[in-house]
Structure 1
C-alpha cells in the first residue's frame, strides 16, 4: 500500500519546486500571519493563498518523509540492522500518516461533491 503512495508522492515532487526545509512540528501550532490590517483585500487573499500553498507543500513533504522513513526502517529490519522498537515506531508513524492523508482526501471529495450538488 505504501509503494503506490510513494510513487504518487514522487510524481508530485517532480512537478513541484523542492522545499528548503520541512517545518518543525512547533510551527504547526501557530498559524502563519497574513498581510497587515488595512491592506487591500486582493493582497490579503494572495497572501492567504500562498501561505496555504506553502503549508500544504510542507505537510506533503513531511508525509512523504514519514513514509520513506517507515520503508527504510522496514528494509533495515529485514537486513538485521534495526531494532524492533525503532521499526514499530516508524511503521506506526507511517500508518498514521496514511490514515490522515486518506481522511483528508475523503473530506475533500465530500466537500467537492457538496459544492457540485448546490443549486445555482
Structure 2
C-alpha cells in the first residue's frame, strides 16, 4: 500500500514547522481543496475499476488489482467517515436552542 492516492494522506507527509507555515486559507481557496479531493476520489475509484476490468479480461497482474481495490476501499472509507462527521455536525446545529 505504498501508492495511496487519497489527498488527505499525502497532506500528512507534508507537515511544515510552525514558523514556516503559511497563513490560514481564505474561504475561496477551500473550494479548490474540496474539488481536488473529489477529483482524487473519483480518479482512485476509476483506476480501481479499470485495473479490475483489465485483470478479468486479459489476465493482467492480480497483485495490481488487489492494490488498486485496497486504495479504492481506503478512499471510500475515508469519504464515508467525512460524510458521517458532516451529518453529525449538521444534527448538532439543529439541536442548538435558538
Query: Normalised by the shorter chain, which TM-score bucket?
Result: 0.7 to 0.9
Of 14, 26, 33, the match for 1:29:
14
Of 65, 71, 85, the match for 1:107:
85
1:28 to 1:108, Cα distance in 2 relative to 1, 3 A: farther
Name the structure 2 match of 1:40: none
Structure 1, unpaired ranges of 5+ = 1-22, 36-46
Q: More relative contact order in 1 or in 2 (CA 8 Å, sep 6+)? A: 2
Answer yes or no: is 1:82 the counterpart of 2:67.
no
TM-score, structure 2 as length reference: 0.75
1:111 to 1:26, Cα distance in 2 relative to 1, 3 A: closer
TM-score, structure 1 as length reference: 0.62
What is the RMSD of the two structures over their aligned residues, measured on CA atoms? Answer: 2.3
Q: Distance in 1 between matches of 2:23 and 2:96?
A: 31
Q: Distance in 1 between matches of 2:35 and 2:13?
A: 13
Structure 2, unpaired ranges of 5+ = 1-6
Q: Distance in 2 between matches of 1:53 and 1:27?
A: 20
1:34 to 1:54, Cα distance in 2 relative to 1, 3 A: farther
